[in-house]
Amino acid sequence: MMLMVSCLAFTLITQRASAQLFCNNELVIWSEDFGTGLSPASNNNVINLNYEPAGQLSGNGTYRLRYVTDQNVGWHKSDDHTPNDVNGRALIVNGKTESFYRRGVTRNLGYPAGFYAVSFFIMNVSAPGTCTNPVIPAITIRAQYRDVNNNWIDLINSPVATAPVPETTNPVWVQRGAVFTLPTTGSFLVKRIRFILSDGTTNGCGNDFAIDDLKLATCPSGGPLPVQFLNVSAHQKGSGVAIDWSTSSELNNKYFDVERSTDGGSSWSVVNTLPSKGDGSATKNYSGYDAKPVAGVNLYRIRQVDNDGTSKYSNTVVFKLNIVKTDVSVLANPFNSNITVDFLTTRSQTVSARLFEMSGKQLLAEQFTVSKGSYRKVIQGVATLNKGIYILQIIDEDGQVIYNDKLVKQ
């Protein structure tokens, strides 16, 4: 966006984090982008904050609508979030512990019972180093409906405390939101829903933010997605393959299965299972491991399993394993009752394994044959060893040392 200020043109470059989906195929009922304009403005939906049309927003509990976010010393200089919005305004707040925005939305055709999402984009406008011990903004969303007696009643799951918005070196817009359930209300047709945004952080330096592109949406295809995958990747790790993925939100998720196919996707097998790290909208990172990939093409996908047993899949990634030498890795270090060794080799061969004390005294020696491709060997007879550090050495049939490293006995 090119903005003209005092006849000088400059370009504001802002990172925008990828959008986070809060429900399936949402249909927007109402939205707010705060309009456009070069002059500061107030907003009738802002509550409990003091509007300051000019000067620095240096006092807690002050706000203005503005087309650029650097409304105080040390704040990021950024345009608003709305795409292709020339001189677009955002709500810029020097925060305090208080409800600061309230909006009711009337719908004459009514709100049927079901799922509704409230979301917005937010930026932590304080650049790192502005505050010695910065207070990080965290917004709580309360959603309510007006009942037959004109009372405001919380929707199911209301209120929701969204994830804090950390400081970033460059200005970054991130999406926050939640899904609520409107219960059945008999013959009474709900026609008005409102939501309230509250700043759940204490007053202090750093509790400063900009908000843009609020929306209220219905979720016609059902409730919130149990898991929103961000990415899935696979790479070689020792003699196996590490499968990494991350999620932008999780709700009622129980566990993940890492599945592999070696026949082009006709059949799949589970190679790893990891539990969920819990509900929330913060990014979570996971890493699974396939100890026995095959030479050639391996397909991987993540199966997410909900608490009620329903499941969904991530996209599929392809990893081609080319074996050019013998790779050896120990599955668990520290070890306990045995030592599990994984091999990835171009040929079947006989190898020797020896275990030493740190003094050099040999404690164990074993010879065995490993098969071409992926092979796992479990070395027994180490459960009675004292806790401490040992050295495992493995030699191939050509007399070359292919593994020599320290292991810890728990």
CATH number of the domain encompassing residue 132: 2.60.120.200
Mean pLDDT of 356-365: 93
Contact 118, 95 (CB under 8 A): no
Q: What is the pLDDT of residues 59-74, one digit of tens each?
A: 899 999 999 999 999 9
245 and 298 in a single domain? The answer is yes
C-alpha–C-alpha distance, residues 148 and 244, integer Å:
51
Pair (20, 149) in one structural domain: yes
Check: CB of residue 12 under 8 Å from CB of residue 87: no
User: What DSSP state is assigned to residue 157?
Assistant: T
pLDDT higher than threshold 50 for residue 49: yes
Whether residues 199 and 338 share a domain: the answer is no
pTM over 0.75: no
Query: What are the pLDDT digits (tens) for 271-299?
Result: 999 999 887 767 889 999 998 888 788 89
Residues 316 and 331 occupy one common structural domain: no
Highest mean pLDDT among 15-24, 153-162, 191-200, 304-313: 191-200
Q: Is residue 8 part of a domain?
A: no
How far apart CA 68 and CA 39 sit, in angstroms, is 11
Residue type at position 285: N
The range of the structural domain enclosing residue 387 comes to: 327-409
Same domain, 135 and 263: no
Question: In this predicted structure, what is the pLDDT of residue 410?
Answer: 87
Check whether 16 has a pLDDT greater than 50.
Answer: no
Q: What is the CATH classification number for the domain harbouring 288?
A: 2.60.40.10
Q: Which residue, chain included where needed, has tokens 């566990």?
A: 255
Band of residue 365 on the pLDDT scale cut at 50, 70, 90: very high
Percent of the chain with pLDDT over 90: 55
Give pLDDT tens digits for 153-209.
999 889 988 888 889 999 999 989 888 889 989 999 999 999 999 997 777 788 999
- Whether pLDDT at 142 is above 90: yes
Q: What is the pLDDT of residue 242?
A: 93
Provide the pLDDT for residue 356.
95
Percent share of the chain, pLDDT over 70: 92
Residue 320 pLDDT class (50, 70, 90 cuts): confident
Single residue among 163, 196, 218 that ends a domain in this structure: 218
Number of other residues whose CB lies within 10 A of the CB of residue 101: 24
pLDDT of residue 162: 86
Residue ending a domain, choose from 293, 321, 349: 321
Count of structural domains within the chain = 3
- In terms of average pLDDT, the best of 41-45, 54-58, 384-388 is 41-45
Domain finish residue from 185, 218, 251: 218
- Contacts of residue 356, Cβ cutoff 8 Å, sequence gap at least 6: 362, 363, 390, 391, 392, 393
Where does the pLDDT of residue 15 fall: very low under 50, low under 70, confident under 90, or very high at 90 and above?
A: very low
Indicate if 42 and 170 belong to the same structural domain: yes
